């Protein structure tokens, strides 16, 4: 898999931009904090076989993505940079695989590079590449699996294609289970019904080899944990697969048009060019038409499914990027380019005025205004060259500049964006030796455990799944009733409590203790609580910023 003159330098630049500012970004609740905490517990306990979330066995997903996050923290420490590192590596690998796939569908190398640039700087892919989640890992293994599948169909047939296809299907299965098939195997089987190129792709011997490799990669972990947890196969099949598709058990119900809206808004700034490709259906090459099934098949399934999250559709953004690059090369797009640049110019204006209209960003209004001016100057260059062959390159570099600007601002807005690192820092200043426990009262914020590097107790949190918990190790972690909370507080006398201020009056009334605010944050506040009110010295709370 070779990367030619434009692709490799961009991938290196992209990788470095994504690394900034990894350490400074807060882990956001709940997704990033949840996966980060699972990975942290792997590192500190040494148990990489059975994922745990705040001390409770957690089998919602297979562990490969969490292994990557934990490996990053083994290398770089328990922090935001470490937990994000291999997700960023996965993003770069996905783009390298996409570039190789695009060469099979697009005649010119420049068009293949454009497909890479489009995917890399589309809003959802660019955002997901930094997010601590499983989605970018799935997108990477999807891109790799598709690369060797299409290579067998339209490129160089090789005895290595089948086992490598099976390998990456297996790795994708270890990230999110059978969802990998929605972007690979199922569209392939559907396309067999109408496309000759999808028939007689692999010999029966190659199918057997690929299947064997897949099973060797995907099944050992499932077998190992199922031996220790006999209920697990049923749980994976019915709760994590069937229930996610057929019920709103996880509270993620959305209208049927949800993913059409998500794609239209998060494939920006390239949505209009993709739409142009769809509109020019009759003029599309047969192979490009066939690619649509790799978008339509998963889109139909996700649209019908009850559970919906925006990042579910991320793995087909690579396919969409190839179609978009084809449309840019084949169709007249001058008006669409101008419309896109209007959107990008408005983005620069939005960055510049954010500090004046968004109260939490007010301390950064000067910096953001300067960023906005710099972006406007860059947009002038875009307007002067928007009809040139470098349009996609220039747009991609502009998108990276916007991304760096936005994330630089987000490092200062963590407490306003569901980040709790500063709260834990305030707690640690009061208790640097970490002798006191932290209780999350009527809330669940796994980032408290992550940044404290010590499990926080959960009080009145009743939605934890305990079916795989085999011992009594949760006595001081899981406190489902006020009686449990009272026993926990009585045994310790002094603890930190994090809760919504509206709930604190109930806490004080039920547990007869005095409380002093330690750190006030939007929606949640940290308190120092003690059963003996007279022993608490007066103390002023820290605040994230004036409100």
Residue owning tokens 């709760």: 239
| Interatomic CA distance for residues 480 and 463, integer angstroms | 9
H-state helical runs in 229-283 = 232-234, 243-246, 258-266, 271-279
Domain edge (last residue) among 391, 412, 433: 412
Residues 426 and 533 in one domain: yes
| Distance in angstroms (rounded) separating the CA atoms of residues 287 and 265 | 26
Query: What domain range is 402 assigned to?
Result: 339-412
Query: What b-and-e string marks burial along 278-303, b requiring 16 or more CB atoms within 10 Å of the CB?
Result: eeeeeebeebbebbbbbbebbbeebb
Which of these, 380, 416, 439, 383, lies nearest to 520 by C-alpha position? Answer: 416
Note whether residue 221 is domain-resident. Answer: yes
Give the pairing type, strands 438-441 and 457-459. Answer: parallel
Q: What is the pLDDT of residue 545?
A: 47
The tokens of 433 are what? 């030796």
Place of tokens 């709370």: 541
The reply to whether 1 falls in a domain is no
Statement to judge: residues 326 and 345 lie in one domain: no
CATH number at residue 441: 3.40.50
Looking at the structure of the chain, the number of domains it has is: 3
Same domain, 352 and 319: no
DSSP per-residue letters across 342-369: HHHHHHHHHHHHHHHHSGGGGGGHHHHH
- Is residue 346, in this structure, part of any structural domain at all? yes
What parts of the chain have a pLDDT lower than 50? Answer: 1, 545-547
- Tell me what percent of the chain is helix, strand and coil, each rounded to the nearest 5: 65, 5, 30
Contact partners, residue 88, CB within 8 Å, separation at least 6: 15, 18, 19, 22, 129, 130
CA dist 192 and 127 (Å) reads 34
Q: Are residues 523 and 396 in the same domain?
A: no
Distance CA 141, CA 403 (A): 24
At 70 the pLDDT is 98
* Residue 325, domain member (yes or no): yes
In a domain, 2, yes or no: no
Task: List beta partners, residue 479.
Answer: 459
Residues 73 and 195 in one domain: yes
Rounded Cα distance, 298 and 315, in Å: 9
Among 365, 383, 412, identify where a domain stops. Answer: 412
322 and 344 inside one domain: no
The three-state (H, E, C) secondary structure of 376-417, written as one string: HHHHHHHHHCCCCCCHHHHHHHHHHHHHHHHHHHHCCCHHHC
Tallying the residues shown for the chain, one arrives at 547
Q: For position 547, what pLDDT does the model report?
A: 37
Do 412 and 421 meet the contact criterion of CB atoms below 8 Å apart? no
CB 214 within 8 A of CB 167: yes
Distances (CA, A) of 333 to 277, 340, 342, 476: 10, 10, 14, 63
| Domain end call among 284, 303, 330 | 330
Residue 513 located in a structural domain: yes
Question: Which token pair is 361?
Answer: 């960003």
Model pLDDT, residue 24: 81
Pair 396, 427 in one domain:
no
- Whether residues 259 and 351 fall in one domain: no
Does a structural domain hold residue 499? yes
- Within 13 Å and on the Cβ side, how many CA atoms surround 451? 26
198 with 270, same domain? yes
Closest by Cα among 331, 315, 334, 337 to 392: 337
Whether the Cβ atoms of residue 56 and residue 474 lie closer than 8 Å to each other:
yes
Contact between 39 and 447 under an 8 Å Cβ cutoff? The reply is no
3-state secondary structure (DSSP) of residue 418? coil
What was the pLDDT predicted at 134? 97
Q: 518: helix, coil or strand?
A: strand
- The CA distance from 547 to 500, in Å, is 17
Same domain, yes or no: 207 and 302: yes
Say if residue 237 is in the same domain as residue 362: no
Instruction: Tell me whether residue 528 is in a domain.
Output: yes
* Secondary element (H or E) of residue 167: helix 161-176
310 and 437 share a domain?
no
pLDDT of residue 416: 86
Q: Are 453 and 40 in contact (CB under 8 A)?
A: yes
């Amino acid at each position: 898999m070779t990367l030619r003159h434009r692709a490799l330098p961009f991938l290196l630049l992209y990788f470095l931009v994504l690394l900034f500012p990894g350490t400074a970004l807060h882990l956001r609740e709940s997704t990033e904090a949840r996966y980060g905490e699972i990975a942290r517990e792997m590192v500190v306990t040494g148990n990489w076989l059975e994922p745990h979330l705040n001390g409770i066995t957690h089998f919602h997903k297979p562990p490969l993505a969490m292994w990557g996050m934990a490996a990053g923290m083994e290398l770089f420490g328990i922090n935001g940079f470490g937990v994000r590192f291999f997700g960023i590596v996965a993003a770069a690998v996905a783009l390298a695989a996409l570039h190789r796939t695009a060469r099979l569908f697009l005649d010119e190398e420049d068009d293949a590079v454009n497909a890479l640039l489009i995917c890399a700087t589309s809003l959802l892919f660019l955002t997901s590449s930094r997010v601590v989640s499983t989605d970018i890992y799935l997108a990477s293994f999807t891109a790799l699996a598709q690369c060797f599948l299409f290579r067998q169909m339209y490129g160089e047939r090789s005895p290595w294609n089948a086992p490598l296809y099976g390998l990456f299907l297996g790795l994708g299965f270890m990230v999110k289970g059978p969802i990998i098939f929605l972007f690979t195997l199922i569209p392939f089987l559907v396309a067999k019904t109408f496309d000759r190129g999808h028939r007689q792709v692999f010999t029966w011997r190659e199918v057997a080899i690929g299947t064997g490799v897949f099973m060797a990669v995907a099944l050992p972990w499932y077998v190992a944990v199922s031996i220790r947890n006999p209920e697990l196969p049923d749980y994976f099949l019915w709760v994590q697969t069937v229930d996610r598709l057929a019920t709103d058990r996880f509270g993620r119900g959305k209208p049927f048009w949800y993913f059409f809206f998500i794609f239209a808004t998060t494939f920006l700034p390239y949505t209009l060019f993709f739409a142009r490709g769809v509109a020019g259906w009759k003029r599309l090459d047969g192979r490009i038409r066939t690619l649509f099934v790799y978008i339509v098949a998963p889109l139909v399934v996700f649209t019908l499914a009850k559970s919906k999250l925006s990042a579910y559709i991320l793995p087909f953004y690579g396919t969409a990027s190839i179609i978009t690059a084809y449309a840019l090369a084949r169709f007249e797009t001058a008006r669409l380019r101008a419309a896109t640049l209007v959107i990008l110019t408005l983005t620069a204006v939005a960055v510049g005025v954010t500090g004046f209209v968004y109260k939490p960003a007010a301390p950064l209004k000067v910096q953001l205004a300067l960023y906005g001016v710099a972006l406007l100057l860059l947009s002038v260059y875009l307007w002067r060259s928007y009809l040139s062959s470098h349009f996609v390159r220039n747009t991609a570099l502009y998108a990276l500049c916007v991304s760096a600007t936005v994330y630089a601002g987000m490092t200062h807005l963590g407490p306003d964006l569901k980040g709790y690192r500063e709260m834990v820092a305030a707690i640690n200043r009061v208790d640097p030796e970490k002798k006191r426990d932290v209780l999350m009262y009527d809330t669940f914020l796994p980032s408290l455990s992550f940044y404290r590097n010590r499990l926080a107790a959960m009080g009145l949190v009743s939605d934890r799944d305990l079916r795989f918990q085999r011992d009594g190790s949760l006595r001081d972690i899981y406190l489902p009733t006020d009686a449990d909370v009272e026993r926990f507080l009585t045994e310790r006398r002094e603890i930190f409590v994090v809760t919504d201020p509206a709930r604190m009056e109930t806490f004080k009334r039920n547990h007869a203790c005095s409380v002093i605010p330690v750190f006030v944050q939007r929606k949640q506040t940290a308190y120092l609580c003690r059963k003996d009110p007279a022993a608490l010295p007066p103390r002023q709370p820290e605040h994230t910023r004036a409100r």
